[in-house]
Structure formats: C-alpha cells, structure tokens
Amino acid sequence: MYWGRRNMRRIISIVLIMIVLATGIGLEVQLLRPPTPPSESDVNYPAYERMMANLKAMTVAAHPSGSKELESVRAYLLEQIRAMGLEPKVEKVTYTVTDVMADMFERNGVPDFENLPPLANGLSHKDNFQNGIRTRAHFDENDKLILQNILVKLDAPATDRGILISAHYDTKPTTPGAADDMVSVTAILEAMREQAMNSNLQSDLYFLFTDGEELGTLGAKEFVRSHPELLGSIDLVINFEARGNRGRLLMFETSDDNLDAVRYFQSASSHPLAFSFTKGLYRRMPNGTDLTRYLKAGYSGLNFAAVEGGESYHEKSDNFENLERATAYHFLMTTLEMADHAAQVPFKDGRKQDSLYFSLLPGYLVIMNKAVSYVLSAAAAGFALWYLIFQIRTGSLRLRIMIAELGRLLGWMAGAAVLSWGIVSGVTRLLHLSESTNNDTVFLSIFFVVGACALAVSIIRDSKLSLHESLAGLLPLLLLLIVGSAVLFQDISYLFSLATIGILVVTLLDRYRIGRWISSVVVGTVIVCLYAPVCWLIYVLFMLPFTPVVVAISVIPISIASALLATVSKEPSS
C-alpha cells in the first residue's frame, strides 16, 4: 500500500511538473507571438492594406544613401505625404568619405593603422577603410554624398510641446530592407494619415524619415545638429527599427530615468512587449540606431524593433515576400496606437526615475522604479538568508551539505552548457551553419534534449528529498544571483528576487499538503513564465553560439519546478 501511494505521488508530481512547464512556456509563446493580421471587417484593415501596398512598392530593390533607387523611394514617399494634404520639409546635408570616416572614428575610436599587418591588395589600411565606406553608399565622383531627411510636423493649436516618431528609409546595398526599415516607414505613413485628420491634437506630432542610418546614423545626427531648438519642445522620441523580419515588436531600449516613458508606452499599447534587461544588454553592445543620436543629445526616447529572424538582417532575403505579415501588422498597430496616444495625452517626464520592467502576461507590463526593485532584491535576499540560517540552526541542514549542493547545482549547469556546446559545434559543422545563424529548429531541439536530461536527473534526485533538502543548493545560488545582479546588472534582478520569494512562500505551506501543491503549481508556472522569454530573447539576440548560456540559465527554472513538485511534503504535526 505504501509503495502504491509513493508511486502514485511520483506520477502526480511528474504530471504536475509537465503541466507547469507546458503552461508557463505556452503563455510565453502567446506573449511573444505578434497579433493576427486584420480581416476585411477589422477597423485597421484599410490602413493595413495601404501599408502593405506601399511597402511592396518601396522594396523593389536595395536603396542605399545616394542611389537612384533611394531617389525613387523618396519621390514615392513625398508623393504619399502630399496626397494627405501635408507639405513635407526635405532637409539636405552633404557628407564626404572623409567626413563619414571621421564620424566613425569619433564614435568607435581611431584604429592603430600603423601597427596593423600589411594588406594583400597593397593598399594602406586607411585607403582600404575608405573603400569600405564607399561600398556602403553611392558617393559621387568627388566622394560626396547628399543625405536628405524628410520632416513633417502636425501642429497642436494649444501647445508647443510634442512627440517625434522616427524611422530611416535608406537600406544597406545588400537588401531591399522590407523589415529594416521600410515596414516602419510605411506604418508611420498610416499614423500620419490618421492624425492629419485629427482637429483636436493635444501635442505637436513630428514625423521624421532619416537618410544615412546605415552609414552611421548620420541623418539623425544632422537632425539633432540642425534643430537645437527642438530639444526644449520634443518631450519624447519614438524610434522604429528592425533586426529581424518576424516575431512581435519589442521595445528594446529606453533613455535613462525612463519610468514615465515606460508607463506612457504601457498606456498607449494594447500589445506591449518590453524587458529592462534588453536595454542593459544593448548598452553593452557596440551597436547604435538613430535613437542613439537622440539620447546622446538629451532626448527621452523609446526604441522598437522586430528581433526574430535575424538571419535576414541586412540580407537579400529581407524582402516583401519574407516579411511575416503578423509582424508587419504589429508595426502598424504599435505606430497607430503610439501616435494616437501622443495626439491625445501629452507626455510629461516629471519624476526622473529609472525603472525595472518586464512583460509577464500578454497585454501587460510589470513596472517598478529602481528603488523599489532594490528593496525587492534586499527583501528576497534577506528572507533567503534567514531561511538558510534557520535550517542550519535547527539542524535540518548542515553548512557542508549546503555548499556541496550548491557545487552540485553549478556542476549541473556547467555540464548542461558543455553538452549543448558540443551539440551546437557538431550541428553547425554538419549543417554548415555560420556563427550568425538564427536556426530555431536547431536551437529548440538542443534545448529540448538537454532540458529533458536536466529535468529527468532533477526529478529522480528530488523525489528522495524533502523540500528544504532540495533547496539547499537552489537558494544559495539564487542568493548569489540576487546580490550579483544588484551590483552588476539590476535590470534582470527580478528573475532571481521573485523566484526566491515564490519558493519561500511554498516553504511556508509545506505542512499543508493541498496548499503546498496549489502554491507549487502557481509559483512554478510564474517562474517558468519569467524565465522563458529571457532565455528565448538571449538566443534571438545573440544567436546559436549562445545556446550554452541559455541552456545553463534554463537549468534554474527546471530545478525549481522539480524541487517544488517532486520533493516529499512534510507531514503535518499531530
């Protein structure tokens, strides 16, 4: 009878673990999936149809700065704007190859040309560098290039404050740029069309199409330089970009002191997707967009991009046919909603507080200011430390065992990472994949295999332990991660703080079997919901070679789910 009850309990535990993992991952799939394109009866269908027609017309070929193809795109764009009864302002600036090179050196530092090895083509490194610049745009015979920004302003009658919505309309010479960045351009056209008929604007609306973004964000640089007066008039910059051609639109970067800006975004958008850790990661990367120029000049801003499908980034495959229609529709929805909200609700950046934010469920952002996030981290760390000390003092746990369990868990994470690294290395060689490949099938297969192994090992081991024995390694690890993230990367601290608090809630209910099961299922599902998008976005942003990092991180929620649901419940006192 005892053996039968124990086996039944194990079966129930495994079933609940599967339910928790499937539910948590399923919710995050819904979170990351873009909205379905509209049907003909939908109110946004005419705007969507116009946007797609314009997008197809303007992505016939690559159109880098200075090219005849870009001139054709610009003429089409100006024609569309004038057909709305608006008069766009074309702002021109001339750059030489030397100017572009000087700007690159200013941003990235001057290479040590003298100490570089000789080139096989016989050119000097400086000449070779200049030739590289010439391949990125169409300079004339005098090495000159005319960049042309297009600016449209809609005046609100009762204010001189406004919001700028921006995208670039040039491309790399290698791509038609359907996602990067013409879908943004065509979506902004529809937002402009809608607001041009708005006779009750509460904020000035500026619509800017920049040239030269792919040459070092030079169009945005020129806009900032030539309009110093607008720094006191534009309260928020909303910039649209793309690093891929599918998936939901991600608000991946903000200005500092962004609490009001992030809350403004949440109020405006029906499908907000944002994580503060992406801002921290992006700031650590040697990348830049037009928003980089605006932020450097002192503007507040929000940066949006589609990030899935990075294999098409700057490639010929970034064309109209390959752009996911749901992604295009999410660009349109976000642009329309942000413009409509800007027209009705002026942005006020009064509190000057930084924030920590993340999407947990579709349609909702969790937002807290950084001070609150530090309090949360301190509370989680304090409770975890108290729990561990209490377990040691009551004899339920020995310090030696806790250290050994921490080492075991770190070993599991390292082993999972090494295993996935070996699989990635073998698969990439077998399939001839490059390091810059986003291959979802390969990633998900590796993730499933290694994750299943980690889960099986955790369940087998945890089924023999009590809850506090199973947590002997997890809580010290989470405690270290809370402290480490608080010092080095607070933007991601919520992952560890909320997981720790959830685990401790379950420990309080360990004596109550039903309460323990219910709380374990709820807490386990929430923890998986927290970790799943982080793991996915790290893979999407850094591609297949970062699979070992993602797999190592995923061991944490897998181990937590096993600890909560596979361990032996404490029997209630009589």
- What pLDDT tens digit does each residue of the chain (574 aa) get? 444 566 677 788 888 899 999 999 999 999 999 999 999 999 899 999 999 999 999 999 999 999 999 999 999 999 999 999 999 999 999 999 999 999 998 888 887 777 777 777 777 778 888 888 999 999 999 999 999 999 999 999 989 999 999 999 999 999 999 999 999 999 999 999 999 999 899 999 999 999 999 999 999 999 999 999 999 999 999 999 999 999 999 999 999 999 999 999 999 999 899 999 999 888 877 788 999 999 999 999 999 999 999 889 999 999 999 999 999 999 999 999 999 999 999 998 776 899 999 998 888 899 999 999 999 999 999 999 999 999 889 888 888 888 998 999 999 999 999 999 998 888 888 877 766 677 788 888 889 999 999 999 898 888 888 888 899 999 999 999 999 999 999 999 999 999 999 999 999 998 888 888 899 999 999 999 999 999 999 999 888 888 999 999 999 999 999 999 988 665 544 3
Give the model's pLDDT for residue 138.
95
Residues 6+ apart with CB under 8 A from 556: 413, 474, 477, 478, 499, 531
Residue 39: strand, helix, or coil: coil
Residues 6+ apart with CB under 8 A from 212: 65, 95, 137, 145, 147, 168, 170, 218, 219, 222
Give the model's pLDDT for residue 3.
47
Give the model's pLDDT for residue 556.
95
Give the model's pLDDT for residue 572.
47
* Cα 143 from chain centroid (whole Å): 38
AA identity, residue 504: L
- HSE, CB side, 13 Å, CA atoms: give it for residue 500: 30
CA dist., res. 458 & res. 224, Å (int): 55
Picking from 446, 443, 463, 457, the residue whose alpha carbon sits closest to that of residue 411 is 457
All CATH 3.40.630.10 domain ranges in the chain, comma separated: 45-91+149-353
Give the model's pLDDT for residue 179.
97
Burial of 5 (0-12, 13-18, 19+ CB in 10 A): exposed
| DSSP 8-class letter at 270 | S
**45-91+149-353: which CATH number, 3.40.50.300, 3.40.630.10, 3.30.110.70, 2.40.30.10?**
3.40.630.10
Whether the bond between 181 and the residue before it is cis, its omega within 30 degrees of 0, is yes
Token pair recorded at residue 391: 């377990």
Task: Give the residue carrying structure tokens 């599902």.
Answer: 525
Helix intervals (H) in 491-546: 494-508, 513-542
